[in-house]
Structure 1
Amino acid sequence: MTDGAPVLRLPLRDEAATHALGRRIAARLRGGDVVALSGGLGMGKTTIARAIIAALGHEGEVPSPSFAIIQTYDPPSVSLPICHADFYRLDDPAEVEELGLDDYRRDAALIAEWPEHAGGFEFDPACLSIRLEPADEGRIAIVKGAKDWQGRMP
């Protein structure tokens, strides 16, 4: 994370702070964006994804796509089409092609949990990378915005 892109270190002391981060991301999200969520098990990746989707208007359940791998949300239940993916179960990044991810992503924003299992998205100019790590009180989100996120960081 040293290529000159802005990097924020945001403390997430509790679930309310995690939800607030998700809402801030949703307010800035555009079609074609990627929100890449990484960190260990139980760090809050799905919590942020759920907060983003809820802030975009979805009122129903937001299941973790751990087994389905990809879950989509389309208007009118959300204001922006969303593709929520959990790549944890992929053994090889080449498997992403078999999933047809590009088809799901047309005009949609992608929320990607475990992006490193899919080969990563850090070279996508529309990628907002968020690494969640344990901290003294709760967690810390290390947020890096690629070129398209400059000027609209959460």
Structure 2
Amino acid sequence: MRTVELPQESDTLEFGRRLGAALRAGDLLLLDGPLGAGKTVLTRGVAAGMGVTGRITSPTFVIARVHRPDGDGPALVHVDAYRLGGLDEIDDLDLDTDLTDAAVVVEWGEGLADQLSDTHLMVRLRRREDDVRELTLEPHGEGWTERLGELTG
């Protein structure tokens, strides 16, 4: 587990860019944090790091959006599981199929989407009283520990 301080929104975007550049098809990121913690801002950075251009917004009302990079590389599937009622609804999204050729980022996914893969990265975002974001990375499964060392160096 590693914790990173992100004093400014630009720091959250930059960390997301580095994380996105390291993602591969089959990667699953679960984002946890209260409203306003920076989950969607981080996802914007992830998308930029993956070569996705265009507007990245929270998929709260559509549940899931697929974003394709401008060049080669996997697509980004961005999911907001906040309004989902349980495992059946997450299964209906067929995200395990998306994991074969896309990187999947799930906001509010803990306890639901973590069952899609034994290998995933839990990203916890908290906003302190001084407005600094703390990002805690919890690797699950093989490969993430080594990749986190490269990201947080």
Give the TM-score, by structure 2 length. Answer: 0.86
Q: How many residues align?
A: 147
Matched, 1:16 2:5: no
Paired residues of 1:23 and 1:52 also in contact (CA < 8 A): yes
Compare 96-105 and 84-93 and name the one that shifted more. Answer: 96-105
Q: Distance in 1 between the 2:86 and 2:63 partners?
A: 14
Structure 2: 5+ residue runs without aligned partners?
A: none
The code of the aligned residue for 1:139 comes to: R
Structure 1: 5+ residue runs without aligned partners?
A: 1-6
Percent identical residues = 33
| Shift, 1:94, TM fit | 1.9
1:33-112 equivalence runs, <5 A = 33-76=27-70, 79-112=73-106
Q: Deviations over 1:77-111 (max 9, x none)?
A: 66321111110111222211122222333311111
Query: For residue 143 of structure 1, what is the aligned residue in structure 2?
Result: 137
Q: Which has the higher helix share?
A: 2
Q: Aligned in 2, Cα 1:120/1:104: closer, same or farther, shift over 3 Å?
A: closer
Q: Aligned in 2, Cα 1:122/1:130: closer, same or farther, shift over 3 Å?
A: farther
Q: Aligned in 2, Cα 1:102/1:125: closer, same or farther, shift over 3 Å?
A: closer
Q: Aligned in 2, Cα 1:111/1:81: closer, same or farther, shift over 3 Å?
A: same
Runs of 4+ more than 4 Å apart:
none
Q: Distance in 2 between the 1:134 and 1:142 partners?
A: 12
* CA RMSD, 1 decimal: 1.9
Q: Greater RCO between the two (CA within 8 Å, min separation 6)? A: 1
Give the TM-score, by structure 1 length. Answer: 0.85
Q: Distance in 1 between the 2:116 and 2:75 partners?
A: 22
Matched, 1:152 2:147: yes
Q: Distance in 1 between the 2:32 and 2:72 partners?
A: 24
